[in-house]
Amino acid sequence: MEYPDPKRKSNMFGKLLMAAAVTALCIIMLKHSPSFSTPTHFSRHEKGVTHVLVTGGAGYIGSHAALRLLKESYRVTIVDNLSRGNIGAVKVLQDLFPEPGRLQFIYADLGDPDAVDKIFSENAFDAVIHFAAVAYVGESTTDPLKYYHNITSNTLMVLKSMAAHGVGTLIYSSTCATYGEPEKMPITEETPQVPINPYGKAKKMAEDMILDFSKNSDMAIMILRYFNVIGSDPEGRLGEAPRPELREQGRISGACFDAARGIIPGIKVKGTDYKTHDGTCIRDYIDVTDLVDAHVKALQHAKPQNVGIYNVGTGKGRSVKEFVEACKKATGVDIKVEYLPRRPGDYAEVFSDPTKIRRELNWTARFTDLQESLGIAWRWQKAHHNGYSSS
Ligand SMILES: NC(=O)c1ccc[n+]([C@@H]2O[C@H](COP(=O)([O-])OP(=O)(O)OC[C@H]3O[C@@H](n4cnc5c(N)ncnc54)[C@H](O)[C@@H]3O)[C@@H](O)[C@H]2O)c1
Ligand SMILES: *[C@@H]1O[C@H](CO)[C@@H](O)[C@H](O)[C@H]1NC(C)=O
Ligand SMILES: *[C@@H]1O[C@H](CO)[C@@H](O)[C@H](O)[C@H]1NC(C)=O
Ligand SMILES: *[C@@H]1O[C@H](CO)[C@@H](O)[C@H](O)[C@H]1NC(C)=O
Protein backbone atom coordinates (compact mmCIF):
# COMPACT_ATOMS: atom_id res chain seq x y z
CA MET A 1 0.00 0.00 0.00
CA GLU A 2 1.20 3.43 -0.75
CA TYR A 3 0.33 6.40 1.41
CA PRO A 4 0.28 9.81 -0.25
CA ASP A 5 2.88 12.00 1.26
CA PRO A 6 1.31 15.41 2.17
CA LYS A 7 4.24 17.33 0.68
CA ARG A 8 3.92 15.55 -2.65
CA LYS A 9 0.14 16.21 -2.64
CA SER A 10 0.49 19.98 -2.36
CA ASN A 11 3.14 19.86 -5.04
CA MET A 12 0.72 18.04 -7.34
CA PHE A 13 -2.01 20.57 -6.59
CA GLY A 14 0.33 23.34 -7.71
CA LYS A 15 1.09 21.48 -10.93
CA LEU A 16 -2.62 20.95 -11.60
CA LEU A 17 -3.33 24.62 -11.05
CA MET A 18 -0.50 25.51 -13.44
CA ALA A 19 -1.81 23.08 -16.07
CA ALA A 20 -5.31 24.51 -15.74
CA ALA A 21 -4.00 28.05 -16.14
CA VAL A 22 -1.98 27.12 -19.23
CA THR A 23 -5.00 25.35 -20.78
CA ALA A 24 -7.24 28.35 -20.11
CA LEU A 25 -4.66 30.65 -21.67
CA CYS A 26 -4.45 28.41 -24.76
CA ILE A 27 -8.22 28.42 -25.16
CA ILE A 28 -8.34 32.20 -24.88
CA MET A 29 -5.54 32.54 -27.42
CA LEU A 30 -7.21 30.12 -29.84
CA LYS A 31 -10.53 31.92 -29.54
CA HIS A 32 -8.94 35.22 -30.39
CA SER A 33 -6.75 33.98 -33.18
CA PRO A 34 -8.33 34.36 -36.62
CA SER A 35 -6.58 31.37 -38.14
CA PHE A 36 -7.48 28.79 -35.50
CA SER A 37 -10.95 28.15 -34.30
CA THR A 38 -12.28 25.65 -31.85
CA PRO A 39 -14.44 22.94 -33.49
CA THR A 40 -18.03 24.04 -33.81
CA HIS A 41 -21.27 22.40 -34.89
CA PHE A 42 -20.45 23.62 -38.37
CA SER A 43 -17.06 21.93 -38.65
CA ARG A 44 -18.26 18.37 -38.03
CA HIS A 45 -20.76 16.19 -39.86
CA GLU A 46 -23.57 15.19 -37.59
CA LYS A 47 -25.81 12.18 -38.13
CA GLY A 48 -29.34 13.23 -39.00
CA VAL A 49 -28.36 16.85 -39.69
CA THR A 50 -27.91 18.17 -43.23
CA HIS A 51 -25.57 21.15 -43.35
CA VAL A 52 -26.23 23.33 -46.39
CA LEU A 53 -23.95 26.06 -47.68
CA VAL A 54 -26.15 28.80 -49.14
CA THR A 55 -24.03 31.10 -51.31
CA GLY A 56 -25.66 34.49 -51.88
CA GLY A 57 -27.83 33.88 -48.81
CA ALA A 58 -28.03 37.60 -48.02
CA GLY A 59 -29.75 38.17 -51.36
CA TYR A 60 -33.42 38.09 -52.28
CA ILE A 61 -33.91 34.41 -53.16
CA GLY A 62 -31.05 33.09 -51.00
CA SER A 63 -32.44 34.64 -47.81
CA HIS A 64 -35.90 33.20 -48.45
CA ALA A 65 -34.32 29.79 -49.12
CA ALA A 66 -32.25 29.98 -45.91
CA LEU A 67 -35.40 30.78 -43.91
CA ARG A 68 -37.20 27.75 -45.31
CA LEU A 69 -34.20 25.45 -44.75
CA LEU A 70 -33.87 26.61 -41.15
CA LYS A 71 -37.59 26.00 -40.58
CA GLU A 72 -37.10 22.47 -41.92
CA SER A 73 -34.25 21.87 -39.42
CA TYR A 74 -31.38 22.08 -41.85
CA ARG A 75 -28.10 23.55 -40.58
CA VAL A 76 -27.23 26.59 -42.69
CA THR A 77 -24.05 28.47 -43.52
CA ILE A 78 -24.51 31.64 -45.55
CA VAL A 79 -21.59 32.97 -47.56
CA ASP A 80 -22.09 36.39 -49.09
CA ASN A 81 -19.88 39.42 -49.72
CA LEU A 82 -22.84 41.78 -49.43
CA SER A 83 -22.03 43.37 -52.78
CA ARG A 84 -25.75 43.11 -53.53
CA GLY A 85 -27.37 41.39 -50.58
CA ASN A 86 -28.41 42.77 -47.22
CA ILE A 87 -26.89 42.09 -43.82
CA GLY A 88 -30.33 43.05 -42.48
CA ALA A 89 -31.78 39.89 -44.01
CA VAL A 90 -29.09 37.81 -42.28
CA LYS A 91 -29.91 39.55 -38.96
CA VAL A 92 -33.59 38.65 -39.34
CA LEU A 93 -32.59 34.99 -39.78
CA GLN A 94 -30.14 35.10 -36.85
CA ASP A 95 -32.86 36.53 -34.59
CA LEU A 96 -35.27 33.78 -35.63
CA PHE A 97 -32.71 30.96 -35.18
CA PRO A 98 -30.26 31.99 -32.46
CA GLU A 99 -29.55 28.45 -31.19
CA PRO A 100 -25.96 27.25 -31.65
CA GLY A 101 -25.38 25.15 -34.74
CA ARG A 102 -28.36 26.48 -36.71
CA LEU A 103 -27.08 29.40 -38.77
CA GLN A 104 -23.69 30.95 -39.38
CA PHE A 105 -22.82 33.87 -41.63
CA ILE A 106 -19.44 34.12 -43.34
CA TYR A 107 -18.52 37.35 -45.08
CA ALA A 108 -16.41 36.33 -48.06
CA ASP A 109 -16.00 36.82 -51.76
CA LEU A 110 -16.46 33.73 -53.93
CA GLY A 111 -14.02 35.23 -56.40
CA ASP A 112 -11.23 34.76 -53.84
CA PRO A 113 -9.91 31.16 -54.18
CA ASP A 114 -8.08 31.16 -50.83
CA ALA A 115 -11.12 32.40 -48.97
CA VAL A 116 -13.34 29.79 -50.64
CA ASP A 117 -10.91 26.97 -49.93
CA LYS A 118 -10.66 28.04 -46.28
CA ILE A 119 -14.45 27.99 -45.93
CA PHE A 120 -14.63 24.44 -47.28
CA SER A 121 -11.68 23.31 -45.11
CA GLU A 122 -13.20 24.62 -41.91
CA ASN A 123 -16.78 23.52 -42.45
CA ALA A 124 -18.40 20.13 -43.02
CA PHE A 125 -21.01 20.76 -45.70
CA ASP A 126 -23.38 18.08 -46.95
CA ALA A 127 -24.77 20.20 -49.77
CA VAL A 128 -24.32 23.52 -51.55
CA ILE A 129 -27.07 25.69 -52.99
CA HIS A 130 -25.26 28.15 -55.20
CA PHE A 131 -27.32 31.35 -55.57
CA ALA A 132 -24.54 33.97 -55.51
CA ALA A 133 -24.38 35.82 -58.80
CA VAL A 134 -25.05 39.09 -60.54
CA ALA A 135 -28.42 38.86 -62.22
CA TYR A 136 -29.56 41.74 -64.43
CA VAL A 137 -29.96 41.20 -68.16
CA GLY A 138 -29.50 44.90 -68.97
CA GLU A 139 -26.34 45.25 -66.89
CA SER A 140 -24.91 42.12 -68.50
CA THR A 141 -25.06 43.72 -71.94
CA THR A 142 -23.13 46.81 -70.75
CA ASP A 143 -20.69 45.01 -68.40
CA PRO A 144 -20.31 41.45 -69.73
CA LEU A 145 -17.02 40.67 -67.97
CA LYS A 146 -18.63 41.26 -64.60
CA TYR A 147 -21.06 38.48 -65.55
CA TYR A 148 -18.51 35.96 -66.78
CA HIS A 149 -16.47 36.67 -63.64
CA ASN A 150 -19.18 36.55 -61.00
CA ILE A 151 -21.23 33.77 -62.58
CA THR A 152 -19.04 31.44 -64.62
CA SER A 153 -15.68 31.83 -62.91
CA ASN A 154 -17.11 31.86 -59.39
CA THR A 155 -19.12 28.70 -60.09
CA LEU A 156 -15.90 27.01 -61.18
CA MET A 157 -14.36 28.01 -57.84
CA VAL A 158 -17.27 26.57 -55.87
CA LEU A 159 -17.28 23.34 -57.90
CA LYS A 160 -13.53 22.81 -57.45
CA SER A 161 -13.77 23.30 -53.70
CA MET A 162 -16.75 20.95 -53.47
CA ALA A 163 -14.80 18.27 -55.35
CA ALA A 164 -11.64 18.79 -53.28
CA HIS A 165 -13.55 18.53 -50.00
CA GLY A 166 -15.95 15.75 -51.00
CA VAL A 167 -19.21 17.70 -50.73
CA GLY A 168 -21.82 15.40 -52.27
CA THR A 169 -24.73 17.56 -53.43
CA LEU A 170 -25.04 20.71 -55.57
CA ILE A 171 -28.21 22.64 -56.34
CA TYR A 172 -27.46 25.25 -58.99
CA SER A 173 -29.50 28.44 -59.68
CA SER A 174 -29.89 28.70 -63.39
CA THR A 175 -32.32 30.68 -65.45
CA CYS A 176 -34.73 30.62 -68.35
CA ALA A 177 -32.40 33.22 -69.90
CA THR A 178 -30.24 30.25 -70.97
CA TYR A 179 -32.93 29.37 -73.55
CA GLY A 180 -32.78 32.70 -75.33
CA GLU A 181 -35.82 33.19 -77.54
CA PRO A 182 -37.11 29.76 -78.56
CA GLU A 183 -39.50 29.40 -81.48
CA LYS A 184 -41.83 27.11 -79.62
CA MET A 185 -43.67 27.74 -76.38
CA PRO A 186 -43.87 26.50 -73.70
CA ILE A 187 -40.22 25.86 -72.88
CA THR A 188 -39.35 22.32 -71.85
CA GLU A 189 -35.99 21.16 -70.51
CA GLU A 190 -35.27 19.80 -74.03
CA THR A 191 -35.76 23.19 -75.69
CA PRO A 192 -32.38 24.12 -77.23
CA GLN A 193 -30.40 26.61 -75.16
CA VAL A 194 -29.40 29.57 -77.31
CA PRO A 195 -28.88 32.46 -74.89
CA ILE A 196 -28.88 35.94 -76.43
CA ASN A 197 -27.32 38.04 -73.66
CA PRO A 198 -24.17 37.70 -71.51
CA TYR A 199 -26.23 36.89 -68.41
CA GLY A 200 -27.83 33.87 -70.11
CA LYS A 201 -24.54 32.88 -71.73
CA ALA A 202 -22.61 33.03 -68.45
CA LYS A 203 -25.24 30.82 -66.77
CA LYS A 204 -25.24 28.40 -69.71
CA MET A 205 -21.43 28.14 -69.50
CA ALA A 206 -21.69 27.41 -65.79
CA GLU A 207 -24.26 24.69 -66.52
CA ASP A 208 -21.99 23.15 -69.20
CA MET A 209 -19.07 23.13 -66.79
CA ILE A 210 -21.18 21.39 -64.14
CA LEU A 211 -22.45 18.82 -66.67
CA ASP A 212 -18.96 17.98 -67.98
CA PHE A 213 -17.67 17.69 -64.43
CA SER A 214 -20.57 15.40 -63.46
CA LYS A 215 -19.51 12.76 -66.03
CA ASN A 216 -16.58 11.68 -63.86
CA SER A 217 -18.00 12.45 -60.47
CA ASP A 218 -20.36 10.92 -57.91
CA MET A 219 -21.85 14.28 -57.07
CA ALA A 220 -25.63 14.58 -56.86
CA ILE A 221 -26.57 17.60 -58.98
CA MET A 222 -29.77 19.50 -59.58
CA ILE A 223 -29.91 22.42 -61.99
CA LEU A 224 -32.99 24.58 -61.55
CA ARG A 225 -33.87 27.03 -64.32
CA TYR A 226 -36.02 29.71 -62.75
CA PHE A 227 -38.42 31.89 -64.65
CA ASN A 228 -39.22 35.42 -63.33
CA VAL A 229 -39.23 35.48 -59.56
CA ILE A 230 -41.64 37.70 -57.60
CA GLY A 231 -43.21 37.94 -54.15
CA SER A 232 -41.83 37.62 -50.65
CA ASP A 233 -42.30 35.83 -47.33
CA PRO A 234 -46.08 35.68 -46.61
CA GLU A 235 -45.31 36.30 -42.92
CA GLY A 236 -43.52 39.54 -43.79
CA ARG A 237 -40.12 38.71 -42.30
CA LEU A 238 -38.13 39.05 -45.52
CA GLY A 239 -38.49 41.04 -48.72
CA GLU A 240 -36.71 42.11 -51.89
CA ALA A 241 -34.38 45.06 -51.30
CA PRO A 242 -31.93 45.68 -54.13
CA ARG A 243 -29.36 48.45 -53.87
CA PRO A 244 -30.89 51.86 -54.72
CA GLU A 245 -28.28 52.35 -57.45
CA LEU A 246 -29.63 49.23 -59.19
CA ARG A 247 -33.15 50.69 -59.49
CA GLU A 248 -32.61 51.54 -63.15
CA GLN A 249 -31.55 47.93 -63.85
CA GLY A 250 -34.38 46.67 -61.76
CA ARG A 251 -36.97 44.08 -62.45
CA ILE A 252 -40.57 44.97 -63.14
CA SER A 253 -41.85 44.22 -59.62
CA GLY A 254 -39.30 46.60 -58.05
CA ALA A 255 -40.18 49.30 -60.57
CA CYS A 256 -43.87 48.87 -59.88
CA PHE A 257 -43.40 49.30 -56.11
CA ASP A 258 -41.06 52.27 -56.55
CA ALA A 259 -43.67 53.90 -58.79
CA ALA A 260 -46.43 53.17 -56.27
CA ARG A 261 -44.33 54.79 -53.53
CA GLY A 262 -43.60 57.82 -55.70
CA ILE A 263 -39.83 57.23 -55.71
CA ILE A 264 -39.96 57.16 -59.49
CA PRO A 265 -42.56 59.02 -61.56
CA GLY A 266 -44.02 55.92 -63.15
CA ILE A 267 -43.34 52.59 -64.74
CA LYS A 268 -41.58 52.29 -68.09
CA VAL A 269 -42.89 49.55 -70.33
CA LYS A 270 -40.17 48.82 -72.85
CA GLY A 271 -41.61 47.54 -76.11
CA THR A 272 -45.23 47.54 -77.27
CA ASP A 273 -44.71 46.01 -80.69
CA TYR A 274 -43.85 42.45 -79.76
CA LYS A 275 -45.81 39.69 -81.43
CA THR A 276 -47.99 39.01 -78.40
CA HIS A 277 -51.71 39.54 -77.74
CA ASP A 278 -51.26 43.07 -76.36
CA GLY A 279 -47.82 43.88 -77.82
CA THR A 280 -45.96 43.74 -74.49
CA CYS A 281 -43.56 40.99 -73.41
CA ILE A 282 -44.89 37.81 -71.87
CA ARG A 283 -43.19 36.22 -68.89
CA ASP A 284 -43.81 33.40 -66.44
CA TYR A 285 -43.85 34.84 -62.89
CA ILE A 286 -42.96 32.40 -60.14
CA ASP A 287 -43.54 33.24 -56.47
CA VAL A 288 -40.41 33.01 -54.31
CA THR A 289 -42.22 30.78 -51.78
CA ASP A 290 -42.89 28.21 -54.51
CA LEU A 291 -39.35 28.58 -55.87
CA VAL A 292 -37.82 27.90 -52.47
CA ASP A 293 -40.06 24.85 -52.10
CA ALA A 294 -38.60 23.52 -55.37
CA HIS A 295 -35.11 23.77 -53.83
CA VAL A 296 -36.12 21.74 -50.78
CA LYS A 297 -37.65 19.08 -53.05
CA ALA A 298 -34.51 19.12 -55.22
CA LEU A 299 -32.35 18.56 -52.12
CA GLN A 300 -34.55 15.66 -51.03
CA HIS A 301 -34.52 14.00 -54.46
CA ALA A 302 -30.85 14.56 -55.37
CA LYS A 303 -29.10 11.26 -56.13
CA PRO A 304 -25.36 10.56 -56.45
CA GLN A 305 -24.04 10.22 -60.02
CA ASN A 306 -27.16 11.87 -61.30
CA VAL A 307 -27.97 15.28 -62.78
CA GLY A 308 -31.54 16.54 -62.68
CA ILE A 309 -32.45 19.58 -64.79
CA TYR A 310 -35.77 21.28 -64.12
CA ASN A 311 -37.70 24.33 -65.22
CA VAL A 312 -39.25 26.14 -62.27
CA GLY A 313 -42.22 28.18 -63.45
CA THR A 314 -46.00 28.25 -63.32
CA GLY A 315 -46.55 27.21 -66.92
CA LYS A 316 -48.62 30.31 -67.55
CA GLY A 317 -47.42 33.47 -69.33
CA ARG A 318 -48.57 36.97 -68.33
CA SER A 319 -48.01 40.14 -70.33
CA VAL A 320 -46.34 43.22 -68.90
CA LYS A 321 -49.68 45.03 -69.26
CA GLU A 322 -51.41 42.37 -67.16
CA PHE A 323 -48.62 42.61 -64.61
CA VAL A 324 -49.01 46.38 -64.33
CA GLU A 325 -52.77 46.01 -63.85
CA ALA A 326 -52.21 43.46 -61.06
CA CYS A 327 -49.70 45.79 -59.49
CA LYS A 328 -52.11 48.73 -59.55
CA LYS A 329 -54.71 46.60 -57.79
CA ALA A 330 -52.23 45.17 -55.25
CA THR A 331 -50.90 48.59 -54.29
CA GLY A 332 -54.12 50.57 -54.72
CA VAL A 333 -52.13 53.21 -56.61
CA ASP A 334 -52.97 54.35 -60.12
CA ILE A 335 -49.40 54.02 -61.36
CA LYS A 336 -48.43 56.11 -64.37
CA VAL A 337 -47.30 54.01 -67.32
CA GLU A 338 -44.91 55.23 -69.99
CA TYR A 339 -44.52 53.23 -73.20
CA LEU A 340 -41.03 53.16 -74.68
CA PRO A 341 -39.15 51.36 -77.47
CA ARG A 342 -37.80 47.86 -76.92
CA ARG A 343 -34.83 47.23 -74.64
CA PRO A 344 -31.89 45.40 -76.23
CA GLY A 345 -31.51 41.79 -75.08
CA ASP A 346 -35.21 41.27 -74.34
CA TYR A 347 -37.30 38.54 -75.93
CA ALA A 348 -41.02 38.58 -76.70
CA GLU A 349 -42.45 35.57 -74.98
CA VAL A 350 -41.13 33.16 -72.36
CA PHE A 351 -43.08 30.66 -70.32
CA SER A 352 -42.33 27.24 -68.93
CA ASP A 353 -43.62 23.75 -69.23
CA PRO A 354 -43.31 22.57 -65.62
CA THR A 355 -44.41 18.96 -66.31
CA LYS A 356 -41.04 17.36 -65.58
CA ILE A 357 -40.60 18.83 -62.11
CA ARG A 358 -44.17 17.92 -61.20
CA ARG A 359 -43.70 14.35 -62.34
CA GLU A 360 -40.25 13.75 -60.87
CA LEU A 361 -40.14 15.97 -57.76
CA ASN A 362 -43.88 16.25 -57.05
CA TRP A 363 -43.51 20.04 -57.14
CA THR A 364 -46.11 22.41 -58.47
CA ALA A 365 -46.60 26.17 -58.19
CA ARG A 366 -49.29 27.09 -55.67
CA PHE A 367 -48.98 30.89 -55.38
CA THR A 368 -50.16 31.65 -58.89
CA ASP A 369 -52.34 34.71 -58.24
CA LEU A 370 -50.21 37.67 -59.42
CA GLN A 371 -52.16 40.23 -57.45
CA GLU A 372 -51.86 38.22 -54.25
CA SER A 373 -48.09 37.66 -54.63
CA LEU A 374 -47.58 41.35 -55.38
CA GLY A 375 -49.82 42.29 -52.45
CA ILE A 376 -47.60 40.32 -50.05
CA ALA A 377 -44.45 41.90 -51.44
CA TRP A 378 -46.08 45.35 -51.30
CA ARG A 379 -46.86 44.98 -47.58
CA TRP A 380 -43.16 44.41 -46.88
CA GLN A 381 -42.15 47.30 -49.18
CA LYS A 382 -44.53 49.70 -47.42
CA ALA A 383 -43.22 48.70 -44.00
CA HIS A 384 -39.55 48.98 -45.09
CA HIS A 385 -39.14 52.23 -46.93
CA ASN A 386 -35.36 52.01 -46.84
CA GLY A 387 -35.15 48.27 -47.32
CA TYR A 388 -33.56 46.43 -44.39
CA SER A 389 -32.01 49.57 -42.91
CA SER A 390 -35.30 50.85 -41.54
CA SER A 391 -38.37 49.32 -40.04
N1 LIG B 1 -34.49 37.08 -59.41
C2 LIG B 1 -34.82 36.40 -60.50
O3 LIG B 1 -35.85 36.66 -61.13
C4 LIG B 1 -33.96 35.25 -60.99
C5 LIG B 1 -34.36 34.52 -62.11
C6 LIG B 1 -33.58 33.45 -62.55
C7 LIG B 1 -32.41 33.11 -61.86
N8 LIG B 1 -32.03 33.85 -60.78
C9 LIG B 1 -30.79 33.47 -60.10
O10 LIG B 1 -31.04 33.32 -58.71
C11 LIG B 1 -29.87 33.64 -57.97
C12 LIG B 1 -30.21 34.62 -56.86
O13 LIG B 1 -30.74 35.80 -57.44
P14 LIG B 1 -31.35 37.01 -56.58
O15 LIG B 1 -32.44 37.58 -57.37
O16 LIG B 1 -31.62 36.54 -55.20
O17 LIG B 1 -30.14 38.04 -56.61
P18 LIG B 1 -29.49 38.94 -55.43
O19 LIG B 1 -28.61 39.92 -56.08
O20 LIG B 1 -30.56 39.42 -54.52
O21 LIG B 1 -28.61 37.88 -54.63
C22 LIG B 1 -27.33 37.47 -55.02
C23 LIG B 1 -26.44 37.46 -53.79
O24 LIG B 1 -25.15 36.98 -54.14
C25 LIG B 1 -24.16 37.77 -53.51
N26 LIG B 1 -22.92 37.74 -54.29
C27 LIG B 1 -22.76 38.15 -55.58
N28 LIG B 1 -21.48 37.98 -55.95
C29 LIG B 1 -20.83 37.46 -54.88
C30 LIG B 1 -19.50 37.07 -54.65
N31 LIG B 1 -18.57 37.20 -55.60
N32 LIG B 1 -19.17 36.58 -53.45
C33 LIG B 1 -20.10 36.44 -52.48
N34 LIG B 1 -21.37 36.79 -52.65
C35 LIG B 1 -21.74 37.30 -53.83
C36 LIG B 1 -24.77 39.15 -53.45
O37 LIG B 1 -24.19 39.95 -52.44
C38 LIG B 1 -26.25 38.85 -53.20
O39 LIG B 1 -26.52 38.80 -51.82
C40 LIG B 1 -28.86 34.16 -58.98
O41 LIG B 1 -27.97 33.11 -59.30
C42 LIG B 1 -29.72 34.52 -60.18
O43 LIG B 1 -28.99 34.44 -61.38
C44 LIG B 1 -32.78 34.91 -60.33
C1 LIG C 1 -17.42 41.34 -53.72
O2 LIG C 1 -16.82 40.49 -54.67
C3 LIG C 1 -16.24 41.12 -55.79
C4 LIG C 1 -15.69 40.06 -56.71
O5 LIG C 1 -16.69 39.20 -57.15
C6 LIG C 1 -15.21 42.13 -55.39
O7 LIG C 1 -14.70 42.75 -56.53
C8 LIG C 1 -15.84 43.14 -54.46
O9 LIG C 1 -14.88 44.07 -54.00
C10 LIG C 1 -16.46 42.43 -53.28
N11 LIG C 1 -17.18 43.40 -52.46
C12 LIG C 1 -17.05 43.49 -51.14
C13 LIG C 1 -17.87 44.51 -50.45
O14 LIG C 1 -16.33 42.73 -50.53
C1 LIG D 1 -18.01 41.10 -60.11
O2 LIG D 1 -16.77 41.08 -60.73
C3 LIG D 1 -16.16 42.30 -60.95
C4 LIG D 1 -14.86 42.03 -61.61
O5 LIG D 1 -15.04 41.52 -62.90
C6 LIG D 1 -16.02 43.07 -59.66
O7 LIG D 1 -15.46 44.34 -59.90
C8 LIG D 1 -17.37 43.18 -58.97
O9 LIG D 1 -17.25 43.84 -57.76
C10 LIG D 1 -17.92 41.80 -58.79
N11 LIG D 1 -19.16 41.75 -58.02
C12 LIG D 1 -20.28 42.36 -58.34
C13 LIG D 1 -21.43 42.12 -57.44
O14 LIG D 1 -20.40 43.10 -59.30
C1 LIG E 1 -47.08 15.18 -53.56
O2 LIG E 1 -47.37 16.43 -52.98
C3 LIG E 1 -48.67 16.53 -52.44
C4 LIG E 1 -48.91 17.98 -52.04
O5 LIG E 1 -47.88 18.48 -51.27
C6 LIG E 1 -48.80 15.53 -51.29
O7 LIG E 1 -50.08 15.62 -50.73
C8 LIG E 1 -48.53 14.13 -51.83
O9 LIG E 1 -48.55 13.21 -50.77
C10 LIG E 1 -47.18 14.06 -52.55
N11 LIG E 1 -47.04 12.78 -53.23
C12 LIG E 1 -45.95 12.03 -53.08
C13 LIG E 1 -45.93 10.78 -53.89
O14 LIG E 1 -45.04 12.31 -52.33
Mutate to test the pocket of ligand 2, among 81, 84, 154, 155 (most ligand atoms within 8 A of CB): 81
Comparing C-alpha atoms, which of 277, 272, 283, 281 is closest to residue 340? 272
- Confirm or reject: Cβ of 144 under 6 Å from ligand 2: no
Average pLDDT of 7-28? 61
**Per-residue model confidence (pLDDT) at position 15:** 67
Q: At 274, phi and psi to the nearest 5? A: -75, 160
Nearest residue (CA) to ligand 2, atom 14? 81
- Which range (33-42, 45-54, 156-165, 340-349) has the least confidence? 33-42
Comparing C-alpha atoms, which of 185, 274, 334, 246 is closest to residue 60? 246
Pairing of strands 127-130, 103-107: unpaired
Query: Which one is predicted more confidently, 36 or 253?
Result: 253
Average pLDDT of 31-58? 82
Q: CA of 114: how far to CAs of 58, 386, 391, in Å?
A: 21, 35, 37
Binned at pLDDT 50, 70 and 90, residue 143 comes out as very high
- Which ligand gives the minimal distance to the CA of 131? 1
Pairing of strands 285-287, 169-175: unpaired
**Per-residue model confidence (pLDDT) at position 32:** 46
- Confirm or reject: Cβ of 150 under 6 Å from ligand 3: yes
Task: Write out pLDDT tens, residues 332-357.
Answer: 999 999 999 998 767 789 999 999 99
What is the C-alpha to C-alpha distance for residues 382 and 260, in angstroms, rounded to an integer? 10
Q: Which of 60, 172, 199, 388 is catalytic?
A: 199
Catalytic site residue 199? Answer: yes
Binned at pLDDT 50, 70 and 90, residue 88 comes out as very high
* 3-class DSSP string for 61-111: HHHHHHHHHHHCCCEEEEEECCCCCCHHHHHHHHHHCCCCCCEEEEECCCC
Residue 201 clears pLDDT 70, i.e. is over it: yes
- Ligand 4 centroid to residue 294 C-alpha, Å: 13
Q: CA of 47: how far to CAs of 50, 51, 126, 300, 304, in Å?
A: 8, 10, 11, 16, 18
Residue 138 clears pLDDT 60, i.e. is over it: yes
Mutate to test the pocket of ligand 3, among 109, 149, 156 (most ligand atoms within 8 A of CB): 149
- Ligand 2 centroid to residue 298 C-alpha, Å: 29
Burial of 98 by CB count in 10 Å (0-12 exposed, 13-18 middle, 19+ buried)? exposed
**Per-residue model confidence (pLDDT) at position 1:** 43
Nearest residue (CA) to ligand 2, atom 6? 109
**Residues 221/228, Cβ–Cβ less than 8 Å:** no
Identity of residue 379: R
Residue 230 clears pLDDT 80, i.e. is over it: yes
CATH class of 49-389: alpha beta
Average pLDDT of 198-220? 98
Binned at pLDDT 50, 70 and 90, residue 391 comes out as very low
- Which range (277-291, 353-367, 376-390) has the least confidence? 376-390
**Per-residue model confidence (pLDDT) at position 2:** 46
What is the C-alpha to C-alpha distance for residues 74 and 69, in angstroms, rounded to an integer? 5
Contacts (Cβ under 8 Å, ≥6 apart) of 236: 376, 379, 380, 383
Ligand 3 atom nearest to 148, measured from its CA: 5
Identity of residue 68: R
> What value does the mean pLDDT of the chain take?
92
Nearest residue (CA) to ligand 2, atom 11? 83
Nearest residue (CA) to ligand 2, atom 4? 111
